[in-house]
Amino acid sequence: MAAPSPGPTAAPDATLEPEPVVPRSYVRFSGDRAESVDAGVIGEIRFTIVVDGTELVTLMCSPWQLRPLVVGFLYLEGLIDDPDEIELLRVCVEDRVAEVRLTHGFPAVPPRKILTSGCTGGVSFGKYLSDIERFRLADETTAVAPRQMYELLRALYDSASLYRRSGGVHTAIFAERGRTTPRFVAEDIGRHNTLDKLQGMALLEGVATRGGSLLASGRISSEMLLKAAIMGVPVVGSRTSPTNLALAVAERLNITVCGYLRQSSMNVYTHPWRVVPRGQTWTIDGPAQGR
Protein backbone atom coordinates (compact mmCIF):
# COMPACT_ATOMS: atom_id res chain seq x y z
CA MET A 1 0.00 0.00 0.00
CA ALA A 2 1.01 3.61 -0.47
CA ALA A 3 2.69 5.48 2.34
CA PRO A 4 0.25 7.44 4.50
CA SER A 5 -0.39 11.07 3.74
CA PRO A 6 -2.24 13.70 5.75
CA GLY A 7 -5.90 12.85 6.11
CA PRO A 8 -8.99 13.92 4.18
CA THR A 9 -10.72 17.25 4.39
CA ALA A 10 -13.69 16.49 6.58
CA ALA A 11 -17.07 18.10 6.84
CA PRO A 12 -17.97 19.32 10.33
CA ASP A 13 -19.60 16.63 12.44
CA ALA A 14 -23.33 17.13 12.91
CA THR A 15 -22.89 16.66 16.65
CA LEU A 16 -19.96 16.30 18.98
CA GLU A 17 -19.05 12.81 20.06
CA PRO A 18 -21.16 11.84 23.09
CA GLU A 19 -19.73 10.97 26.46
CA PRO A 20 -18.40 7.40 26.07
CA VAL A 21 -19.27 6.54 29.69
CA VAL A 22 -23.00 6.61 30.47
CA PRO A 23 -24.21 7.40 34.01
CA ARG A 24 -25.96 4.52 35.70
CA SER A 25 -27.37 3.75 39.15
CA TYR A 26 -27.01 0.22 40.43
CA VAL A 27 -26.76 -1.80 43.62
CA ARG A 28 -23.41 -3.15 44.76
CA PHE A 29 -23.23 -6.08 47.17
CA SER A 30 -20.31 -6.70 49.48
CA GLY A 31 -21.11 -9.97 51.18
CA ASP A 32 -24.71 -9.51 52.34
CA ARG A 33 -24.42 -5.73 52.57
CA ALA A 34 -26.04 -3.73 49.74
CA GLU A 35 -25.40 -0.11 48.80
CA SER A 36 -26.67 2.16 46.03
CA VAL A 37 -24.02 3.38 43.60
CA ASP A 38 -24.11 6.15 41.01
CA ALA A 39 -21.31 5.45 38.54
CA GLY A 40 -20.96 4.77 34.85
CA VAL A 41 -21.03 1.98 32.28
CA ILE A 42 -19.30 2.00 28.90
CA GLY A 43 -21.41 3.24 25.99
CA GLU A 44 -22.19 1.09 22.94
CA ILE A 45 -23.76 2.05 19.61
CA ARG A 46 -24.60 0.53 16.24
CA PHE A 47 -22.56 2.64 13.83
CA THR A 48 -23.17 2.51 10.07
CA ILE A 49 -20.65 3.54 7.44
CA VAL A 50 -22.33 4.78 4.26
CA VAL A 51 -20.12 5.20 1.18
CA ASP A 52 -21.40 7.22 -1.77
CA GLY A 53 -24.98 6.74 -0.59
CA THR A 54 -24.71 2.97 -0.15
CA GLU A 55 -24.48 1.22 3.22
CA LEU A 56 -21.12 -0.50 3.51
CA VAL A 57 -21.18 -1.99 7.00
CA THR A 58 -22.63 -1.57 10.50
CA LEU A 59 -20.26 -1.91 13.42
CA MET A 60 -20.85 -2.25 17.13
CA CYS A 61 -18.49 0.18 18.82
CA SER A 62 -17.91 2.73 21.54
CA PRO A 63 -19.21 6.21 20.63
CA TRP A 64 -15.90 8.00 20.43
CA GLN A 65 -12.80 8.16 18.22
CA LEU A 66 -15.27 7.52 15.39
CA ARG A 67 -13.47 9.43 12.64
CA PRO A 68 -10.25 7.40 12.96
CA LEU A 69 -12.37 4.25 13.24
CA VAL A 70 -13.88 4.93 9.80
CA VAL A 71 -10.59 5.84 8.14
CA GLY A 72 -8.73 2.92 9.68
CA PHE A 73 -11.46 0.42 8.79
CA LEU A 74 -11.52 1.52 5.16
CA TYR A 75 -7.73 1.29 4.93
CA LEU A 76 -7.18 -2.00 6.73
CA GLU A 77 -9.99 -3.63 4.75
CA GLY A 78 -8.28 -2.57 1.51
CA LEU A 79 -11.09 -0.26 0.42
CA ILE A 80 -8.74 2.72 0.18
CA ASP A 81 -4.97 2.90 -0.30
CA ASP A 82 -4.57 6.46 0.92
CA PRO A 83 -6.68 8.81 3.05
CA ASP A 84 -6.62 11.33 0.20
CA GLU A 85 -9.07 9.03 -1.58
CA ILE A 86 -11.67 10.23 0.93
CA GLU A 87 -13.25 13.36 -0.52
CA LEU A 88 -15.71 13.79 2.33
CA LEU A 89 -16.10 12.29 5.78
CA ARG A 90 -18.99 13.39 7.97
CA VAL A 91 -19.82 11.70 11.27
CA CYS A 92 -23.31 12.19 12.70
CA VAL A 93 -23.41 10.58 16.13
CA GLU A 94 -27.06 11.47 16.63
CA ASP A 95 -27.97 9.28 13.64
CA ARG A 96 -25.17 6.76 14.38
CA VAL A 97 -23.84 7.10 10.85
CA ALA A 98 -20.70 8.14 8.96
CA GLU A 99 -21.17 9.51 5.46
CA VAL A 100 -18.17 8.98 3.19
CA ARG A 101 -17.52 10.05 -0.39
CA LEU A 102 -14.56 8.46 -2.16
CA THR A 103 -12.71 9.65 -5.25
CA HIS A 104 -13.33 6.28 -6.94
CA GLY A 105 -16.93 5.76 -5.81
CA PHE A 106 -18.30 2.79 -3.91
CA PRO A 107 -15.49 0.23 -3.53
CA ALA A 108 -15.56 -3.29 -4.86
CA VAL A 109 -16.05 -5.59 -1.86
CA PRO A 110 -16.19 -9.39 -1.67
CA PRO A 111 -19.80 -10.63 -1.56
CA ARG A 112 -19.19 -12.61 1.64
CA LYS A 113 -18.48 -10.90 4.96
CA ILE A 114 -16.56 -12.56 7.78
CA LEU A 115 -17.85 -12.25 11.34
CA THR A 116 -14.71 -11.89 13.40
CA SER A 117 -14.14 -13.34 16.84
CA GLY A 118 -14.75 -11.23 19.91
CA CYS A 119 -17.51 -10.01 22.16
CA THR A 120 -18.90 -7.47 19.68
CA GLY A 121 -18.83 -9.70 16.59
CA GLY A 122 -16.77 -7.48 14.30
CA VAL A 123 -16.94 -7.59 10.52
CA SER A 124 -14.20 -8.08 7.94
CA PHE A 125 -14.50 -8.39 4.18
CA GLY A 126 -11.43 -10.65 4.11
CA LYS A 127 -10.25 -8.97 0.92
CA TYR A 128 -6.60 -9.82 1.57
CA LEU A 129 -6.96 -13.43 2.69
CA SER A 130 -6.08 -14.88 -0.72
CA ASP A 131 -2.89 -12.81 -0.96
CA ILE A 132 -1.53 -12.36 2.56
CA GLU A 133 2.07 -13.07 1.49
CA ARG A 134 2.27 -9.53 0.14
CA PHE A 135 2.27 -8.34 3.76
CA ARG A 136 5.15 -10.55 4.90
CA LEU A 137 7.63 -8.34 6.78
CA ALA A 138 11.27 -8.41 5.84
CA ASP A 139 13.93 -9.41 8.37
CA GLU A 140 15.05 -6.26 10.17
CA THR A 141 18.10 -5.35 12.21
CA THR A 142 15.83 -3.57 14.70
CA ALA A 143 15.23 -5.50 17.92
CA VAL A 144 13.23 -4.86 21.07
CA ALA A 145 14.51 -5.45 24.57
CA PRO A 146 12.28 -7.29 27.05
CA ARG A 147 12.39 -4.16 29.21
CA GLN A 148 10.81 -2.17 26.36
CA MET A 149 7.86 -4.55 26.28
CA TYR A 150 7.41 -4.35 30.07
CA GLU A 151 7.45 -0.55 29.86
CA LEU A 152 4.88 -0.63 27.06
CA LEU A 153 2.65 -2.77 29.28
CA ARG A 154 2.83 -0.12 31.99
CA ALA A 155 2.04 2.51 29.37
CA LEU A 156 -0.98 0.45 28.28
CA TYR A 157 -2.33 0.43 31.83
CA ASP A 158 -1.58 4.14 32.30
CA SER A 159 -3.35 4.99 29.03
CA ALA A 160 -6.55 3.05 29.74
CA SER A 161 -8.56 6.08 30.88
CA LEU A 162 -11.96 4.70 29.84
CA TYR A 163 -11.29 1.37 31.49
CA ARG A 164 -10.48 3.08 34.76
CA ARG A 165 -13.79 4.97 34.58
CA SER A 166 -16.12 2.13 33.70
CA GLY A 167 -14.38 -1.13 32.81
CA GLY A 168 -15.80 -3.18 29.93
CA VAL A 169 -13.49 -1.74 27.26
CA HIS A 170 -10.38 -2.83 25.36
CA THR A 171 -7.26 -0.66 25.02
CA ALA A 172 -4.55 -0.77 22.35
CA ILE A 173 -1.48 1.42 21.92
CA PHE A 174 0.95 2.06 19.08
CA ALA A 175 4.56 3.05 19.73
CA GLU A 176 7.02 4.09 17.07
CA ARG A 177 10.20 2.12 16.55
CA GLY A 178 12.39 2.07 19.65
CA ARG A 179 9.91 4.07 21.77
CA THR A 180 8.18 3.07 24.99
CA THR A 181 5.80 6.04 25.02
CA PRO A 182 2.62 5.47 22.98
CA ARG A 183 2.12 7.70 19.97
CA PHE A 184 -1.55 6.70 19.75
CA VAL A 185 -4.05 5.20 22.21
CA ALA A 186 -7.39 3.65 21.22
CA GLU A 187 -10.18 2.30 23.41
CA ASP A 188 -13.33 0.51 22.31
CA ILE A 189 -15.69 -2.29 23.31
CA GLY A 190 -14.34 -4.21 20.29
CA ARG A 191 -10.74 -5.45 20.12
CA HIS A 192 -10.67 -5.16 16.34
CA ASN A 193 -12.00 -1.62 16.47
CA THR A 194 -9.01 -0.49 18.54
CA LEU A 195 -6.60 -1.44 15.76
CA ASP A 196 -8.76 0.27 13.13
CA LYS A 197 -8.71 3.38 15.32
CA LEU A 198 -4.92 3.27 15.73
CA GLN A 199 -4.43 2.98 11.97
CA GLY A 200 -6.93 5.77 11.37
CA MET A 201 -5.15 8.07 13.83
CA ALA A 202 -1.85 7.42 12.09
CA LEU A 203 -3.30 8.09 8.63
CA LEU A 204 -5.04 11.27 9.73
CA GLU A 205 -1.79 12.60 11.23
CA GLY A 206 0.47 11.34 8.44
CA VAL A 207 2.44 9.01 10.74
CA ALA A 208 3.98 5.85 9.28
CA THR A 209 3.30 2.74 11.38
CA ARG A 210 5.89 0.47 9.74
CA GLY A 211 8.51 -0.77 12.18
CA GLY A 212 6.58 0.14 15.33
CA SER A 213 5.01 -1.93 18.09
CA LEU A 214 1.41 -2.70 19.02
CA LEU A 215 0.20 -3.70 22.45
CA ALA A 216 -3.38 -4.76 23.18
CA SER A 217 -5.25 -5.57 26.35
CA GLY A 218 -7.24 -8.39 24.76
CA ARG A 219 -6.67 -11.63 22.92
CA ILE A 220 -4.76 -11.51 19.62
CA SER A 221 -6.81 -13.24 16.90
CA SER A 222 -5.81 -14.00 13.32
CA GLU A 223 -7.81 -11.02 12.02
CA MET A 224 -6.02 -8.67 14.41
CA LEU A 225 -2.67 -10.17 13.44
CA LEU A 226 -3.41 -9.52 9.76
CA LYS A 227 -4.31 -5.91 10.57
CA ALA A 228 -0.93 -5.54 12.29
CA ALA A 229 0.79 -7.00 9.21
CA ILE A 230 -0.96 -4.51 6.93
CA MET A 231 0.23 -1.75 9.25
CA GLY A 232 3.78 -3.07 8.87
CA VAL A 233 4.17 -3.68 12.61
CA PRO A 234 6.74 -6.42 13.38
CA VAL A 235 6.09 -6.71 17.14
CA VAL A 236 2.64 -7.39 18.59
CA GLY A 237 2.06 -7.87 22.31
CA SER A 238 -0.90 -8.70 24.50
CA ARG A 239 -1.75 -8.86 28.18
CA THR A 240 -3.39 -12.21 27.42
CA SER A 241 -2.99 -14.96 24.82
CA PRO A 242 -2.86 -15.24 21.03
CA THR A 243 -4.89 -17.87 19.19
CA ASN A 244 -3.23 -20.75 17.35
CA LEU A 245 -4.35 -19.36 13.98
CA ALA A 246 -2.92 -15.95 14.88
CA LEU A 247 0.42 -17.63 15.56
CA ALA A 248 0.27 -19.50 12.25
CA VAL A 249 -0.27 -16.19 10.45
CA ALA A 250 2.51 -14.56 12.50
CA GLU A 251 4.97 -17.33 11.59
CA ARG A 252 4.10 -16.92 7.93
CA LEU A 253 4.28 -13.12 7.91
CA ASN A 254 7.43 -12.81 10.07
CA ILE A 255 5.80 -11.07 13.04
CA THR A 256 6.94 -11.45 16.64
CA VAL A 257 4.04 -12.17 18.99
CA CYS A 258 4.42 -11.68 22.75
CA GLY A 259 1.65 -12.87 25.04
CA TYR A 260 0.81 -12.88 28.73
CA LEU A 261 2.86 -9.73 29.26
CA ARG A 262 3.38 -8.97 32.91
CA GLN A 263 5.54 -6.55 34.87
CA SER A 264 8.69 -8.60 34.34
CA SER A 265 7.76 -11.63 32.25
CA MET A 266 6.20 -12.62 28.94
CA ASN A 267 5.86 -15.48 26.46
CA VAL A 268 7.36 -14.97 22.99
CA TYR A 269 5.51 -17.31 20.64
CA THR A 270 6.94 -16.46 17.21
CA HIS A 271 10.20 -15.06 15.82
CA PRO A 272 11.89 -14.59 19.23
CA TRP A 273 15.09 -13.39 17.55
CA ARG A 274 13.64 -9.86 17.59
CA VAL A 275 13.57 -9.82 21.40
CA VAL A 276 17.09 -9.12 22.65
CA PRO A 277 18.10 -8.26 26.23
CA ARG A 278 20.15 -5.11 26.63
CA GLY A 279 23.88 -5.62 26.32
CA GLN A 280 23.47 -8.45 23.83
CA THR A 281 23.63 -8.69 20.09
CA TRP A 282 21.46 -10.92 17.94
CA THR A 283 21.77 -13.32 15.07
CA ILE A 284 19.02 -15.04 13.11
CA ASP A 285 19.35 -17.89 15.63
CA GLY A 286 18.62 -15.65 18.61
CA PRO A 287 20.40 -13.37 21.09
CA ALA A 288 24.06 -13.79 21.87
CA GLN A 289 26.23 -12.12 24.50
CA GLY A 290 27.84 -8.94 23.27
CA ARG A 291 31.55 -8.43 23.50
C-alpha 223/C-alpha 192 separation (Å) is: 8
E strands in 232-285: 235-238, 256-259, 267-270, 280-283
Number of other residues whose CB lies within 10 A of the CB of residue 244: 10
Integer Cα distance of 256 and 253 in angstroms: 9
Distance (Å, whole) CA 251 – CA 50: 36
Q: Judge contact between 224 and 245, C-beta under 8 A.
A: no
DSSP code for 125: -
Among 61, 92, 119, 258, the active-site one is 119
- Look up 119 and say whether it is catalytic: yes
Residue 95, SS3 per DSSP:
coil
* Residues 249/222, Cβ–Cβ less than 8 Å: yes
Say if residue 210 is exposed, middle or buried (CB neighbours under 10 Å; 0-12, 13-18, 19+).
middle
User: Residue 155 is inside which H or E element, if any?
Assistant: helix 146-159
**Residues annotated catalytic, as ranges:** 119
